[in-house]
């Protein structure tokens, strides 16, 4: 597009097509991109009253480059640079690192989320409310966003933009919040027998595959019924990659704090506080290194495993050099004492904020949730219920200890909510719970795509829901890296699975039914093992033992002794004979283990 001379008409500036001409809008200036519109094939007349304006327009156009593509695009880029440069200056500096304004924005938004979570925890603890406080906070934030969007959409958008730095920070470091349970896993499984550990692994792997099938096929079935067309999801912001300066900064923190802790183990008052900086730095460095590994290596050495190994190696090194022992250092890593926190306590302190942040991601994808509500909520409800009850029943069937069975109930639910679920029960190992959840996620991250391909789960909705419902956040991260079209459904199901599981477990009747499911499963085993010894009839979840059969078996003394101790007749209807039957079963297993 060649510029016209000053003596020619300023409106004849280019020829876009053979039968059309273009005219420059009078409002165009040298600082704004020219707006072009097509005109029918006719000559343009010069307007005498706009000679000065036309001269300025011609001068501006004559300064444009000779390439017509550059002349149309360059002003747009210039305007974008002018507009984006000012907005981006508050977020990032030219070197790619956050500026002071961006850091202040992050600290304020993240501080509000953390303070809200802490306030809700204290309020719920003071009121003796067992419902997860962070889940209540998430519902409050989501309700506020919905109300604002209905009456003042601009305020809702401003609310989302204000907390975006906090949500991106949580998203960027999310795997770190799961690591403490893996770091202290050697302490958590110390009292777990090897046979029980094998049973737990069988439940984890088999339960993951079964949950994947149930969630995926349920989503496919509902999809065929409702026949809702898939629509594009809202774009999701991605956190920034790790900078070289961050790596060196954390490395400096590790070296300096390790030296201080070695010279004076109580320099900060307690050993846990003194070890906190270098243990936290080793955890962060391990995650940063693991995240930068090639994709092929990550299949074997996941960033979370690399992160846990880094922290454990630091604990081993310090325990050896200080002669305090690795167990003492791991104990300082996760103290579970608010007055004396360790590095693991700091990281797990963000779990409540993770739950609250679900409100922002759910609100951002609200249109997608509304359109595919049938597939999403049906699949999540069925998969979550199946996961809880199948774990309870399978644990009893294979003879896993009751306390361990309860500890691994929320195996398919994110750590932040899994710990809240097991808090409803007594006698649980919360460290084992978190470790089992992370291991389930690692299994899903490595095998979920191959498993879904074999099962024929090719629909993006089914793949997203199946992955998140069976392997929560770690499986979601692995799938979204290769299948971005399934990411929105992963993100939705990832949060809703934990929410639904927490809601149903907060109901006392459901918790009691989970306990009954374990009893019924064990009675099922009794009936098959004791088929020649005891007659059992299950009616309305009650167990009736026939005294005439008991008196003729070798187990009769055991039952009579137990009944005398409990002051209950062994065969009387209406009594809780499950306890007696369990005692008999334990005695039988002790005497005749070969029958198992």
For 333-368, the pLDDT digits (tens) are 999 888 899 999 999 899 889 889 888 888 888 888
Lowest model confidence (mean pLDDT) among 68-82, 431-445, 542-556, 561-575: 68-82
When pLDDT is averaged across residues 145-161 and rounded to a whole number, the result is 93
Query: Vertex 454, ends 492 and 462: CA angle to 5°?
Result: 20
Q: How far is 562 from 212, CA to CA, in rounded Å?
A: 43
Distances (CA, A) of 587 to 12, 360, 391, 399, 521: 102, 54, 25, 14, 18
Identify whether residues 495 and 366 lie together within a single domain: yes
> What's the rounded mean pLDDT across residues 468-481?
77
Question: According to the per-residue pLDDT averaged within each range, which of 39-48, 127-136, 308-317, 510-519 is highest?
Answer: 308-317
My answer on whether 254 and 284 are in the same domain is yes
Question: How would DSSP label each residue in 26-40?
Answer: TT--TTSPPPEEEE-
**Nearest to 387, CA basis, from 181, 509, 209:** 209
- Identify the pLDDT of residue 123: 93
**Listed residue (415, 340, 418) closest to 176, CA to CA:** 415
pLDDT of residue 415: 82
In a domain, 162, yes or no: yes
Assess whether pLDDT exceeds 80 at residue 61: no
- Neighbour count for residue 79 (Cβ, 10 Å): 13
At residue 8, the pLDDT reads 42
536: β partners: 545
Judged by average pLDDT, the poorest of 199-213, 360-374, 513-527, 579-593 is: 579-593
pLDDT for 264 equals: 92
Per-residue pLDDT at 9: 42
Other CB atoms within 10 Å distance of the CB of residue 540: 4
Degrees (nearest 5) of the Cα angle 529, 530, 534? 165
3-state class of 4 per DSSP? coil
Q: Does a structural domain hold residue 178? A: yes
76: pLDDT strictly greater than 60: no
518-527: pLDDT as tens digits = 555 554 444 4
- Within-domain flag for 412: yes
Taking 50 as the threshold, does the pLDDT of residue 87 lie above it? no
Q: Specify whether 280 is located in the same domain as 218.
A: no
Burial code of 202-218, b = ≥16 C-beta within 10 A, e = fewer?
A: ebbeebbbbbbbbbbbb
Task: Give CA separation, 92 vs 20, 167, 244, 492, in Å.
Answer: 45, 17, 15, 29
Task: Give the domain-ending residue among 290, 316, 345.
Answer: 345
CA torsion sign for 337, 339, 344, 349 is positive
Contact 62, 34 (CB under 8 A): no
Report the DSSP pairing between strands 21-24 and 36-39: antiparallel
Whole-number Å distance between alpha carbons of 497 and 489: 12
Q: Averaged over 290-310, what is the pLDDT?
A: 84
Domain boundary among 322, 345, 368: 345
Percent of the chain beyond pLDDT 70? 68
Same domain, 328 and 358: no
Residue at 167 is within a domain: yes
Binning pLDDT at 50, 70 and 90, where does residue 240 land? confident
Q: Are residues 224 and 318 in the same domain?
A: no
Q: How far from chain centre, in Å, is Cα 367? A: 21
Q: Which residue has the higher pLDDT, 232 or 62?
A: 232
* Mean pLDDT, the chain, whole residue set: 74
In this structure, of 58-67, 68-77, 236-245, 252-261, the range with the lowest mean pLDDT score is: 68-77
Same domain, 322 and 367: no
Q: 70 lies in a domain?
A: no
pLDDT of 586? 52
Per-residue pLDDT at 547? 42
What is the C-alpha to C-alpha distance for residues 585 and 558, in angstroms, rounded to an integer?
10
Q: Are the C-beta atoms of 495 and 358 separated by less than 8 Å?
A: yes
Local structure of 542: helix, strand or coil: strand
Is pLDDT at 37 greater than 50 in this prediction? no
Higher pLDDT pick, 74 / 438? 438
- Looking at the fold, whether 227 and 254 belong to one and the same domain comes out as no
Q: pLDDT-based confidence at 505, cuts 50/70/90? A: confident
Please tell me whether residues 131 and 207 are part of one structural domain: yes
Residue 557 pLDDT grade (very low, low, confident, very high; cuts 50, 70, 90): low
Compute CA distances 513 → 42, 111, 518, 542, whole Å: 83, 40, 9, 13
- Asked if residue 427 and residue 518 are part of one domain, the reply reads yes
Same domain (yes/no): 425, 503: yes
- Residue 481: the pLDDT is 62
Q: What is the pLDDT of residue 461?
A: 86
Q: Give yes or no for a contact between 405 and 521, defined as CB atoms under 8 angstroms apart.
A: no
Give the Å distances, CA to CA, from 442 to 178, 349, 473, 572.
Answer: 11, 22, 10, 50
Q: What integer pLDDT is reported at residue 233 of this predicted model?
A: 64
Q: What is the mean pLDDT of residues 400-407?
A: 86
Query: How far is residue 197's CA from residue 588's CA, in Å, rounded to a whole number?
Result: 23
**pLDDT at 161 > cutoff 90:** yes
97 or 478, greater pLDDT: 478
Burial of residue 64 (number of CB atoms within 10 Å: 0-12, 13-18, 19+): middle
What was the pLDDT predicted at 386? 92
CB atoms under 10 Å from CB of 377, counted, come to 16
Give a yes or no: residue 55 inside a domain: no
- What sign does the CA torsion over 297, 302, 306, 309 have? negative
**Among the ranges 50-54, 100-104, 251-255, 289-293, which has the highest mean pLDDT value?**
251-255
Among the candidates 345, 370, 392, a domain finishes at 345
Query: Phi first, then psi: what are they for 424, rounded to 5°?
Result: -70, -20
Looking at the fold, whether 455 and 376 belong to one and the same domain comes out as yes
Cα gap 441→470, rounded to integer Å: 8
Contact 541, 520 (CB under 8 A): yes
C-alpha–C-alpha distance, residues 436 and 432, integer Å? 6
At 543, which helix (H) or strand (E)?
Answer: strand 542-545
Give Cβ neighbours of residue 344 (< 8 Å, ≥ 6 apart). Answer: 179, 180, 183, 184, 279, 333, 334, 335
Partner residues linked to 537 by β-bridges: 544
DSSP state of 44: P
- How many independent structural domains does the chain possess? 2
Residue 87 domain-assigned (yes or no): no
CA distance linking residue 196 with residue 189, whole number of Å: 10
In a domain, 134, yes or no: yes
Q: Who contacts 523 (Cβ-Cβ below 8 Å, separation ≥6)? A: 536, 538, 543, 578, 581
Residue 275: give the domain boundaries: 244-345
Specify whether 374 is located in the same domain as 517.
yes
Taking the CA atoms of the chain, what radius of gyration do you get in angstroms? Answer: 32
Residue 21's SS3 state is strand
pLDDT tens for each residue of 370-388 = 888 888 899 999 999 999 9
């Amino acid at each position: 597009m060649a510029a016209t001379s000053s003596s020619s008409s300023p409106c004849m500036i280019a020829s876009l097509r053979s039968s059309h001409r273009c005219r420059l809008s009078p409002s165009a200036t040298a600082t704004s991109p020219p707006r072009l519109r097509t005109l029918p094939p006719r000559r343009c007349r010069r307007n005498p009253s706009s000679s000065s304006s036309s001269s300025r327009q011609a001068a501006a156009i004559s300064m444009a480059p000779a390439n017509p593509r550059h002349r149309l695009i360059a002003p747009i880029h210039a305007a974008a640079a002018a507009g984006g440069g000012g907005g981006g200056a508050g977020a990032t500096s030219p070197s790619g690192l956050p500026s002071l304004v961006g850091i202040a924005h992050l600290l304020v938004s993240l501080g509000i989320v953390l303070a809200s979570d802490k306030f809700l925890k204290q309020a719920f603890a003071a009121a003796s409310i067992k419902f997860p406080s962070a889940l209540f906070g998430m519902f409050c934030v989501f309700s506020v966003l919905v109300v604002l969007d209905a009456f003042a959409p601009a305020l809702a958008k401003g609310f989302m933009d204000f907390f975006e730095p906090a949500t991106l920070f949580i998203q960027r470091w999310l795997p770190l919040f799961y690591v403490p349970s893996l770091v202290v896993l050697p302490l958590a499984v110390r009292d777990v027998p090897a046979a029980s550990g094998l049973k737990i692994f069988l439940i984890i792997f088999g339960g993951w595959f079964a949950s994947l099938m149930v969630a995926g096929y349920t989503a496919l079935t509902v999809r065929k019924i409702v026949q809702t067309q898939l629509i594009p999801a809202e774009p999701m912001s991605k956190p920034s990659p790790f900078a070289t300066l961050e790596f060196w900064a954390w490395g400096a923190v590790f070296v300096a704090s390790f030296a201080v802790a070695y010279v004076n183990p109580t320099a900060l008052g307690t050993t846990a506080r003194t070890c906190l900086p270098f243990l936290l730095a080793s955890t962060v460095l391990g995650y940063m290194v693991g995240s930068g590994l090639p994709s092929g290596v990550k299949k074997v050495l996941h960033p979370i495993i690399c992160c846990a190994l880094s922290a454990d190696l630091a604990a081993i090194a310090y325990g050896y050099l200080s002669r305090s022992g690795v167990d003492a250092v791991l104990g300082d890593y996760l103290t579970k004492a608010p007055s004396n926190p360790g590095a693991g306590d700091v990281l797990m302190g963000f779990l409540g904020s993770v739950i609250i942040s679900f409100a922002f991601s759910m609100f951002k994808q609200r249109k997608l949730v509304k359109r595919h509500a049938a597939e999403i909520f049906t699949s999540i409800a069925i998969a979550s219920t199946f996961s809880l009850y199948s774990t309870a029943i399978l644990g009893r069937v294979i003879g896993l200890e009751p306390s361990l069975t309860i500890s691994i109930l929320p195996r398919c639910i994110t750590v932040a909510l899994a710990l809240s679920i097991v808090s409803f029960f007594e006698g649980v190992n919360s460290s084992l719970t978190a470790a089992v959840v992370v291991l389930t996620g690692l299994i899903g991250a490595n095998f979920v795509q191959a498993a879904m391909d074999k099962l024929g789960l090719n629909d993006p909705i089914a793949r997203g829901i199946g992955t998140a419902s069976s392997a929560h956040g770690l499986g979601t991260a692995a799938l979204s890296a290769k299948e971005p079209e399934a990411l929105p459904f992963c993100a939705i199901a990832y949060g809703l699975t934990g929410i639904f599981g927490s809601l149903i477990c907060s109901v006392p009747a459901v918790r009691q039914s989970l306990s009954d499911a374990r009893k019924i499963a064990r009675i099922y085993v009794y009936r098959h093992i004791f088929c020649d010894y005891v007659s059992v009839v299950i009616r309305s979840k009650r167990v009736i033992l026939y005294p005439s059969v008991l008196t003729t078996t070798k187990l009769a003394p055991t039952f009579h002794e137990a009944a005398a101790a409990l002051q209950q007749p062994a065969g009387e209807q209406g009594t809780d004979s499950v306890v007696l039957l369990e005692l008999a079963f334990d005695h039988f297993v002790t005497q005749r283990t070969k029958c198992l």
